[in-house]
Structure formats: structure tokens, C-alpha cells
């Protein structure tokens, strides 16, 4: 009976470590996705601003 409980405890400790690693990887993925999303928005906004400035210069009579 004692061997069963120690094996069960070991299994749950390993499972806990695996879940912690998965959680860390998920946090990194979420961080990079949000980072690249904000980077994309910033690039898009700067492109829109530069495009409007160019258009304003072209059609400024």
C-alpha cells in the first residue's frame, strides 16, 4: 500500500511539473502573440500616417 501511495505521489508531482512547464510555454506564446500584434498595429498606423502625408503632399495645390 505504501508503494502505491508513493508512486501516486510521484506521478502527481511529475504531472504538476509538466503542467507548470506547459503554463510557462503558454505564457510565452501569449506574450509574443500580443507583442507582435501591437507591433503590427504600430507599423500599420505609421504606414497609414505616412501614406496620408504623402497623399497630402501630392495633392497639395
pLDDT for 33 equals 86
3-state secondary structure of 16: helix
Give Dmax over CA atoms of the chain in angstroms: 91
Q: For residues 11-31, b (16+ Cβ closer than 10 Å) or e, as one string?
A: eeeeeeeeeeeeeeeeeeeee
- State how far the alpha carbon of 13 is from the alpha carbons of 17, 18, 24, in Å: 6, 9, 17
> Residue 55 has what pLDDT?
63
**What is the pLDDT, as a whole number, of residue 8?**
80
Q: What pLDDT, on the 0 to 100 scale, is given for residue 40?
A: 86
Provide the Cα torsion 43, 31, 28, 15; round to 10°: -150
pTM over 0.85: no
| pLDDT tens digits along 2-61 | 666 777 888 888 989 999 999 998 888 888 888 888 888 888 877 777 766 666 666 655
Amino acid at each position: 500500500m505504501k508503494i502505491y501511495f508513493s508512486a501516486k505521489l510521484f506521478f502527481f508531482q511529475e504531472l504538476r511539473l509538466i503542467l507548470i512547464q506547459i503554463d510557462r510555454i503558454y505564457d510565452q506564446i501569449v506574450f509574443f502573440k500580443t507583442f507582435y500584434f501591437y507591433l503590427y498595429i504600430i507599423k500599420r498606423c505609421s504606414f497609414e500616417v505616412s501614406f496620408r502625408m504623402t497623399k497630402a503632399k501630392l495633392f497639395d495645390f
